[in-house]
Structure 1
Amino acid sequence: MMIRHKSLWQLGFCILFLVFFTACGYQDTVRPSIEKRLAVLDSTRLTQPEESLFELDSLLQNNQDLSDLERALLLFNKGEALYLNDKYPEAFNTHLEGYTLFVELKDKYNQGRSLITLSGAALHMGDIETSQKYALQALELAQLIGDKRMEGKAYNQLFKLHFGLKDYDKALAYVQLTDSLYSQEADTTSIISIKSNKASVYLKLKEYNKALASYSEAMTLSQTKRDPKTLVSVLNNIGYTYMEAKEYESAEKFLRGAITLNKNIKAINAAPYKGLGNLFLLKAEKDSAKVNFNKALSIYKATKNTKEEIDVRDKLIALSIMSGDYTKALNHQIVRDSLRKDLNKLEKDRLLNFANVNYEVKRKETEIKHQKEINRRNTWLLISTVTLFILLLIITAFYSYNTRLRAANRASKLEQRLLRVQMNPHFIFNTLAAIQNITLEGNPIKSSNYIAKFSKLIRQNFDYVRKESIPLDKEIEMISNYIETQQLRFNKAFTYSVAMEGIDDPSGIQVPPMLLQPFVENAIEYGLKEKKEGGELRLKIERNRNELSFVISDNGVGRSAKAKDEKITEELHATSIFKERLKMRKKGEEKTFVIKDLYDKDNKPAGTKVFFKLKI
């Protein structure tokens, strides 16, 4: 019954949990419609950046019922789209707003993802200290939640940071850690990038053989993956490595290989042409250098890559001066200065925009915090009201079931007491001793029969004590088995009979198990045991409509005399247990229970009779 008590507590807590979930769950769920849009935007933010940003802004501004998690995920995706399109200040502020929400939601996985992009954006803006802080926080979170992929990304971010600071030893250490984490992954693109990063460090350290070895691994993976764009980048890098090692023939071969592959896949890529321009410049082949620099320049102009265009024009200025073409050098100088001026202005505008966006973010943060405070108070009010209601329900349920639980608990204890009474150790030892004597007398068949009866009796006791009721014929079978086992102990010094009246089918009548055995045992132990012969034990069961009458009588020495000799208590007779069992049925049957002492014509004790009724 203690299990039922515990189950009720569990039920109450489950209900309470469901209420909490209903009251607050909207704060951290994502609706299928939003989830579907995020999945589509994730695949289009690179190919259609403007459209993706427009839709993300629309979702953020036109949905007032967004949950905190939905808003945070939308901000994360917007920040990623801005970052991938080189809008680093806007990406930084957007990610910072999303990160704040993830912290409140205790979503450590998305906190880590946001921190990595925040670190990258800060690095692009030249804020080294902030970049390092966020990268280390992401690393700590990744290790805390055991996300190896995120840990690798954090190490990779630290690599970029130290590589930019020209701290190549630390950069190498971090990229090797990244490599060790990703070596077991199936993400070939990331592994190629890591191998290339490692090669870049070796190149800066002038360890050309190691750099070429890492680039070769990247090239093999690119060929296996059949990714021509990545392979072009790797070939170009190998060309630059050979150039640094002053192996110009090999450098030219790989750079031309990159150009050929670009043509095959119809890709526009200026890097190999710029590489060849630098190569020919080193070899003092000015015309070839100029041709390749001009090809690179036309591509950079078309793709509006201002920084690279400035760098190439610097080289063309030098070549024009070397060739004595000062007019050409001046033209390149004018264009380059104009580009530099525009680039500086763009950088200033970007910083100004960053400040404006930062101010706007702070303002929105204040508004959101205020609204959240209002929502929080309303939520706690709702939770308190519902919790009080649930507690009242639980108290009412406990009150309603309290009587039943106590009764069930008493029944459990009664079962244990009943089993102890039924399986009296004295009876068991005496029975086993009697079976041993039969065995020693050389009668194995008889002893085997009694062992079978005794084992069946024990099994019946254990089986029936756990049941609320059993068929009447099973009760009679068990009590007969018990009496016959007792007859063995006393060498059949008494006989017994079982009579039934008004009962056509005893198997169809249910009665509480083991009701009769305590009184049969008393009759034998305290009445018939003292008689050497002529003892009689009678059991009579009579049905009268919906009642069963039970009479257990014997012609032994009588209960009163034996009680005086041995001070037998009511508890020893199991009478109290019997009455409690009847009381628990709540049918008033305990009131019919009578124990009557029998006397002969000389008024001497002549046995005992037990009477009670059961309602069926």
Structure 2
Amino acid sequence: MHEKTTLNQIKNTKTKWLFSFLILFFFTTLNAQVSAVEKIASYGYSKRFSDSSASKKIQQQALNLAKKKKNIDDEVICYSYLALTQRRLLHLKEFTRYADTAYILAQKSIKTRVKAFASLAMGNLKSYIDDKPQAIDHLLHSYTLFSKINAHDQCAKIAADISYLFSPASPEKVHKYAQEALEHAYKAKDPESKLYARLAYGGYLTDKLESGTEKDWQKTLDFLKTTVVLAEKESFDIISKSNIGIAYINLADLYSKGPKPINETALFDNLEKATAIAKKYNIKIIYRSAIGLQGFYYTEKGNYVKAEMLFIEGIKYQLSLPYTDNYLLATFYNCLKEVSAKRHDFEAYYAYDTLFTKYNQLKYNETTQKLLQNADARFESSKKMERIKQLELENELEQQNKLLGYGIAGVLLLGLVFMFRSYYFRQRYYLKREEILKQEQTNSELKLQLMEKETIENLATRLSLERRLLRSQMDPHFIFNALGNIQSMILQKDTIPAVSYLNKFAKLTRQILEQSRKETISLEEEIGTLKNYIELQQLRLNNSFEYAIVCDESVEEDILIPPLLIQPFIENAVEHGLKPKPKEEKGVLQINFSQQTQQRNLICTIKDNGIGLTASRKLKTNENHTSLSTTITDERLAKMQKDHPYAGFQVLERNADNGETGCIVIINIPIL
């Protein structure tokens, strides 16, 4: 007994575990799903370096689409991408507005991915305005949420940013998040994420060299060289070109700090590549670092002329741009001051110092203004965050009160309903039970009778249609005339033609009998039946007419069509058009097939050079022959129009003004 109880407990535990796993998998899949609007916004964000104007335009289109659909989740993600783009463009006002909007709207969403994007945008804003504690809190929250839905590409970048924020105060956390960034990047298999993570881990290794050995330096060098190789190999797929430039700068800087003699070739090769990227993509910090490293190297080496030329070249390039970077100019003039002092060129030192003082003051003013803006932004952001928390508490309290009210009302309503139900239905239950059973039995009998009646009527209708269709195809006059001609040929001892035509007649009869019971036949089968029928008509009319059947190149012979639709019109063409023609005039019957693929429609055009509709009506020939074939065909095509609106036919008189006689029949046959 105890053993059985234990087994049941194990089974229940497994069932609960499996159920929990399925729930977790379902919500993970739901939260990880990327919408079409997010894909558009992400594509626009990817163009922020190559074409910032197009980047903002595409993201704004994605936002408008989300608003049109009234999808708050997509709106939050679009606002988050726009906020990150404004950070790249250094527009604090727009950056703040988009990040705050995303964060406020995200409170209305239940999706993990949406909340993760909002926290990412807010974390980047706090980092930009130098609010490190808040930046770390928001980025850690975003990192946790993205980890839950296995968004490894986002996790890699966020973990790298967190490692930078912890540097240099907490080396252990720098190492922890840089290592996790690498792990997520290689799971994501995304070149940009890998480079982002490797830069963070490379920064951690470089910081350790202050107390490291030459062996540590070599290990760091190998890591940074591998980073550069991977960046060059996958440069096309890396959107943030500045990261490639940083990889070159980091490697060059490491060479400059390495053991003597310094590998000058490797140093300058990496600096030249970094400078090229800085100029191509207008990345100021990369350009400043590349020129500065070269200048410092030549200054320490004692080549002051070369160092001065480099700094002057950097100043000329900066002054050629449509904007002024006071920080960069002040840095270069300060370097020129130091070079002039070492050369004992005090006249040049004075000139450079004057310009340094000018741009340094402008730089100081800009820095002061930025600090004030950041302080204002931090203050406004703090106020908004407090207001958001207050609103959240108010909403939560209001929601709790609503739920409590709904609960009480629901309990009372359920009690009243239960009491009424117990009183009312118990009274009526026994009274109506017998009546309901009798009614159900009567209904069942009626349904059975109705189904039997419908089945018999449908079967009768189908059999009637098949018989009428068969009769319309096998006209008695045609059968007797064909057999009479074959008999005449046998009596005249034309054995070979007689046998040939007898075979054709037998084959035609079998084909019509078989096809009249089929729903569909191939076009190839239909053409074969028509050929047998026309050749027998030629025999009956002593070859007084010729025929041709042509299929356009667009027609596929294995398409399926309803059977026995075309023969009645050929019968009319032969009987009422070609047969009455004078014997000295040769009759011609032309049949053409073309296909409308998109409409699923086969067009059959039948032309004859007979006497035409008007003359045929005047002759009133074959009054005793009542042909129902055209009427039945019209009924069949009319029934098909429900699913195939193009089904139908039209009969036209040929243009007598051009010397043409006869009729044209155009049949639109549905392809099944």
TM-score normalised over the length of structure 1: 0.49
- Structure with higher RCO (Cα < 8 A, 6+ apart): 1
Work out which of the two has the higher radius of gyration on C-alpha atoms and give 1 or 2: 1
TM-score normalised over the length of structure 2: 0.45
